[in-house]
Amino acid sequence: MLGHRVDCLIGERLIVQIDGGHHVGAQRTSDIDHDARLMLRGYHVIRVSYVQLMHRWPEVQLLIMTAIAQGLHRA
């Protein structure tokens, strides 16, 4: 999407990005830039770490479900 891969697209407008340990320095800067360009085009980005995904899934799930309940996945 916009020249970059996204980890998960929910509906038409909600993107979930999962950061691994390599998301530092130049990669992190690129991710921030990509998030900004997505948001300017009407997408909503939730970015979580691999650790959050694997060890704090209930919190991540709540974030995603709250975003869906607010209709952020729809155009």
CA atoms within 13 A on the CB side of 56: 11
Q: Is 2 helix (H, G, I), strand (E, B) or coil?
A: coil
- pLDDT the model gives residue 21: 74
DSSP state string for 8-66: EEETTTEEEEEE-TT-SHHHHHHHHHHHHHHHHTT-EEEEEEHHHHHH-HHHHHHHHHH
- pLDDT the model gives residue 24: 75
What is the count of structural domains for the chain? 1
| 15 and 45 Cβ atoms separated by less than 8 Å | yes
- pLDDT the model gives residue 75: 85
Quote the domain boundaries for residue 20.
8-69
- Domain for residue 64, yes or no? yes
Its pTM stands at 0.90
- Domain for residue 3, yes or no? no
- pLDDT the model gives residue 62: 98
Q: Tens of pLDDT along 6-62?
A: 999 999 999 999 998 776 788 889 999 999 999 999 999 999 999 999 999 999 999
Token duo for residue 21: 């340990």
- Domain for residue 16, yes or no? yes
